[in-house]
Structure 1
Amino acid sequence: MPQQLSMFAVRVSAPEGLQYVPDFISPEVEQDLIAAIRTLPLQPFQFGHFEGKRRVASFGYRYDYSLRRLELADPIPSWLAGVIAEIESFGGPTTEIGQVLCTEYDVGVGIGWHRDKPHFDRVFGLSLGSSCKFRFRKSNGPSWERFTLDAEPRSLYMMSGASRRIWEHSIPAVEATRYSITFRTMLDAGAGVSRPRSARS
């Protein structure tokens, strides 16, 4: 892990609250994370009765689209403890990761326009294996205001503020197999769901 993180200067037109750090992890750590994700029982993403092409595994919490609520998931695995510590250090003293999503994007797979569920607060994304176009849009009268971030392998992005709450984001079909790990803090860890065990337990 790098001891000092150099912040990438995102263009002025970037959504407020979006931060980006290139080379957040080393190539060796990246390969270890990819190898660990490949051992997970990844399942096609379930959106109600629909099945997405990307494959995922949730930890801490998962969102049940049929029940429209958070459910407890398996504890955050210990092999993520080091990365989580670095992300929490980057996010500041109030940062506590409560949910993790590991995703595999095969060639030709992307994700449509959306915002993360309101149960979550800040969102950190770690790109692995290949780059992607991380697209943002928000309504501006009859048109859309748009921004695209080139998310390189080993980079970290953080969404907070307007970039998290107002802008939607999506990823077009990737040209090479890509993995990502999404780390989320909780806005309301209550909502009738007890706090899960984590990698630090």
Structure 2
Amino acid sequence: MSEQLGFFAASSPEPEGLRYAAEFVSLDTERELIARVAALPLQPFQFGQYEGKRRVASFGFRYDYGLRRLQDADPIPHWLSPIIGQVEAFGGPPTHIAQVLCTEYDTGVGIGWHRDKPHFGRVFGLSLGSACKFRFRRPAGEKWQRFTLDAAPRSLYMMSGPSREAWEHSIPAVEQPRYSITFRTMAEPKR
């Protein structure tokens, strides 16, 4: 059986532009961040007239699905500054984080297939509390090419280039409560 799984893994290479760092933050930092996110005035995710099961708080900007545009949001909290510095260093020059989304996933909650809005550039995600399967897919003829990243607690991923623009991503229902902090740059103006 493991030989078959190895065969399938080899046929689905990692999406170009996807980077991953395990143990990006310490266990103590993870605990502190979870406490900070849990203390935020999290609201159910609004997708137009629909309400998602995950709870979120946006900073810097938020996307309004009713108006189909970015809106200003509360300023990014100062307690995120040290982590933003680490994320920007991971992204390299000239990474500048302009938007942050804090998310709480209760047991049994996930997120469906999507791409982040084109207003944003590179996307960084910090996984907290429990692991998740971070799934990718893109059309390949009449089928889908797929890739799954096992995002461990305290890890960071970065999506840029094709992993951000050509691939969709999703998270199946989590088995334990999970938190994430998503950091986004703004998209470069089209020339």
Verify same fold: TM over 0.5.
yes
Alignment partner, residue 95 of structure 1:
95
Give 1:122 shift: 0.1
Following the alignment from structure 2 to structure 1, what is the Cα–Cα distance between the partners of residues 87 and 109? 27
Alignment partner, residue 117 of structure 2:
117
Alignment partner, residue 177 of structure 1:
177
Which consecutive aligned stretches of 4+ in structure 1 deviate over 4 angstroms post-superposition? none
Which runs of no fewer than 5 residues in structure 1 stay unpaired? 1-10, 190-201
Alignment partner, residue 83 of structure 1:
83
Q: Is it true that 1:139 corresponds to 2:136 in the alignment?
A: no
Alignment partner, residue 158 of structure 1:
158
Sequence identity percentage: 70
Alignment partner, residue 29 of structure 1:
29
Q: Is it true that 1:58 corresponds to 2:25 in the alignment?
A: no
Deviations 1:37-59 (A, max 9, x none): 01100000000000000000000
- Secondary structure, counterpart of 2:125 in structure 1: strand
Q: Is it true that 1:47 corresponds to 2:85 in the alignment?
A: no
Q: How many residues align?
A: 180
Following the alignment from structure 1 to structure 2, what is the Cα–Cα distance between the partners of residues 36 and 132? 21
Letter in 2 for 1:39: A
Give 1:111 shift: 0.1
Aligned Cα RMSD in Å?
1.4
Following the alignment from structure 1 to structure 2, what is the Cα–Cα distance between the partners of residues 164 and 41? 29
Following the alignment from structure 1 to structure 2, what is the Cα–Cα distance between the partners of residues 187 and 35? 31
TM-score by length of 2: 0.92
Q: Which has the higher helix share?
A: 2
TM-score by length of 1: 0.88
Give 1:121 shift: 0.3
- Secondary structure, counterpart of 1:149 in structure 2: strand
Which runs of no fewer than 5 residues in structure 2 stay unpaired? 1-9
Give 1:188 shift: 5.3
